[in-house]
Every structure is written in structure tokens, then in C-alpha cells.
């Protein structure tokens, strides 16, 4: 299992059964960071609190697709496997907390911590996408059905094109 922060190999330090599947604590052989994995992916019951106070089920695939848009044009610096690893790690971190509900801004924070270690440009893009004019993280800004003006400008970065 690759480290979500640096991509190096990791070792299992602890294994136990939990309601969400087999839980393993791991430590990275290179950067020594610790992280958790679950054999069974998916976190039934975990809900995301959006800006308007409504909730939706946590969706790792949706998160992955969002990151793919943000990481567009970063081939060589970060790839799909890196993004999947990041999403799996964020999901495991949330499941580990045993919270039933998590704010979208908290998910963005966890994503930023991990992306920053892999590719700072992608992290900056994600951060910019979810901040409003006052520099505040926006809740629920991932909602594709929101009016265009309230949507983050994902995939619209033109600086390096
Ligand atoms: Zn590492």
C-alpha cells in the first residue's frame, strides 16, 4: 500500500476488525507519516454537510472526479493513482473519526494537506476553487446543480495553457 503523502511503500503496524471492514494502521517507510486503510472501501452512513445545511452521502468517486478536474494539465506532477490514494486516505480518516457528518470545508482541508505533499500547484488550485472573495472556504461549493455563479471555476485555470 502506497503512502498517500509521498507514494512510498508502507508497513502495517496494527490490524483489527471494525464495522467498516478490516482496519489497518500503516506507517510510511520513507516519510514516516502514519495513515489508516480499510479493506472494504466506502463509508456507509457518512454524510457531507453542505453550505445550505443540507446533507448528501459521502461519495469518493465524486471527490475523485473533482480532483481530476483540478489536476488537469498536471500530468507528470500528479496522476490518477495519486488522486485515488488521496481520496482513499481522506475517506479512511473520516471513517476513523466515526463522525456521522462532516462539513465539506473539512474534506477540502484534508485534501489540501495531502495534495500539498504531492503537488503544490494542484493544492493551490483546489484551495482557490473553494474560497470566496473574502478568502473563506465555501461549504457545498462542489454542487454541480448549483447556479453557475455559485459554482467553483474548476477546470477553468488558463494560466499555463
Ligand atoms: Zn510517505
Instruction: Count up the domains in the chain and report the number.
Output: 1
What is the pLDDT, as a whole number, of residue 46? 83
9 CA to middle of ligand 1, Å?
7
- Asked if the structure places residue 28 within a domain, the reply is no
Q: For residue 28, list its beta bridge partners.
A: 10
120 CA to middle of ligand 1, Å?
16
Q: Which residue has the higher pLDDT, 147 or 77?
A: 77
Q: What are phi and psi of 158, to 5 degrees?
A: -115, 0
Q: Rounded to 10 degrees, what is the CA torsion of 140, 142, 147, 150?
A: 70
What pLDDT digit, counting tens, does each position of 27-49 carry? 999 999 999 887 765 556 788 98
- Asked if the structure places residue 91 within a domain, the reply is yes
Q: Are 101 and 48 in contact (CB under 8 A)?
A: yes
Q: Which residues contact 126 (CB under 8 A, 6 or more apart)?
A: 67, 70, 108, 111, 112, 115
Q: Are 151 and 143 in contact (CB under 8 A)?
A: yes
55 CA to middle of ligand 1, Å?
33
Please tell me the distance from the alpha carbon of residue 141 to that of residue 52, in angstroms, as a whole number.
Answer: 10
96 CA to middle of ligand 1, Å?
19
149 CA to middle of ligand 1, Å?
38
50 CA to middle of ligand 1, Å?
31
Q: What percent of the chain has pLDDT over 70?
A: 77
Q: Which residue has the higher pLDDT, 115 or 155?
A: 115
- Asked if the structure places residue 86 within a domain, the reply is yes
What pLDDT digit, counting tens, does each position of 66-103 carry? 999 999 999 899 999 999 999 989 988 888 887 788 99
pTM attached to this predicted model? 0.63
Q: Which domain holds residue 103?
A: 43-150
49 CA to middle of ligand 1, Å?
30
**C-alpha grid cell, residue 98:** 466515526
- Asked if the structure places residue 67 within a domain, the reply is yes
Amino acid at each position: 500500500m502506497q503512502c498517500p503523502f509521498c507514494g512510498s511503500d508502507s508497513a502495517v503496524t496494527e490490524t483489527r476488525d471494525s464495522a467498516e471492514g478490516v482496519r489497518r494502521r500503516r506507517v510510511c517507510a520513507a516519510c514516516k507519516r502514519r495513515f489508516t486503510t480499510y479493506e472494504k472501501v466506502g463509508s456507509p452512513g457518512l454524510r457531507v454537510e453542505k453550505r445550505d445545511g443540507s446533507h448528501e452521502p459521502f461519495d469518493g468517486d465524486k471527490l475523485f472526479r473533482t480532483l481530476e478536474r483540478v489536476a488537469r494539465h498536471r500530468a507528470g506532477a500528479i496522476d490518477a493513482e495519486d488522486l485515488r490514494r488521496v481520496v482513499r486516505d481522506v475517506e479512511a480518516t473520516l471513517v476513523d473519526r466515526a463522525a456521522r457528518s462532516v462539513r465539506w470545508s473539512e474534506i477540502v482541508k484534508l485534501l489540501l494537506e495531502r495534495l500539498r505533499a504531492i503537488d503544490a500547484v494542484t493544492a493551490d488550485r483546489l484551495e482557490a476553487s473553494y474560497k470566496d472573495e473574502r478568502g473563506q472556504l465555501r461549504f457545498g461549493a462542489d454542487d454541480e446543480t448549483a447556479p453557475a455563479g455559485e459554482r467553483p471555476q474548476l477546470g477553468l485555470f488558463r494560466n499555463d495553457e
